[in-house]
Amino acid sequence: MWMLITTNRMSSQQELVLHASLVATGQSLVANLAAANCYKKEKHLDMEKNWMLVEKARVYYIAGFFLTVSPESVLKVAQHASANNRIFTLNLSAPFISQFYKEPLMKIMPYVDILFGNETEAATFAREQGFETEDIKEIAKKTQALPKVNSKRQRVVIFTQGSDDTIMATESEVTAFAVLDQDQEEIIDTNGAGDAFVGGFLSQLVYDKPLTECIRAGHYAASVIIRRTGCTFPEKPDFH
């Protein structure tokens, strides 16, 4: 299966692109969003040629980081998806999003069809929402049950946990999915593993594959990424 990727950029001379610093001995990330902070809705999303692309799409994915820059853009896309019964997906992205951008996050949540996050982001979200539980399955269940505008699509919540099981909550059940076995000595760089999981998941979702197959693809993509430096991938995948 092949995909054609179309990019529509907004030019700015003010900042460089995103860069990040990593501590080699642990999972500590310091991100500089840089150019992303210069985004202006009226100079990009609201332009007819760009909004036409939004109207043509049937699956949308936005990272939670964007809530720090242009929450009004996220809301516009989310509401469009809901009104037209399209699939809108969101990533919690980082614990500070749930802490310091709670208001815009919760304005978006009623429109979210699929929510992604990791165990740390899930725990922070639960504390901020007053869930009074540290059990990740319960957190996923409570998050799934939050108010939703489009009742035609019940929310799906997916929390990854590194080498531990991935948790998926639907309206009817909470399921755990084992990740692929990985030799610890093969792990080079975990930066981007969560994004790779989402990418793998969405690669199957756009082809209307079952959620279980989407998760399998997500696990595969993450397992490839962590064995390479940076969020890179081989020329040809071996996913079957």
Residue type, 90: L
Which of 73, 71, 104, 108 lies closest to 90 in space, CA to CA?
A: 108
- CA atoms of 40 and 72, how far apart (whole Å): 10
CA distance 139 to 78: 23
CA proximity to 222, closest of 195, 240, 188, 183: 195
**Which residue among the candidates 135, 195, 208, 238 is catalytic per the annotation?**
195
Measured distance CA(217)–CA(227) in Å, rounded? 16
Q: Tell me if residue 195 is catalytic.
A: yes
Alpha carbon separation from 100 to 68, 103, 104, 127, 139 (Å, rounded) = 9, 8, 9, 13, 19
Q: For the purposes of burial, counting CB atoms within 10 Å of the CB of 127, is it exposed (0-12), middle (13-18) or buried (19 or more)?
A: middle
Partners of 177 in beta bridges: 166
By annotation, the residues acting in catalysis are 195
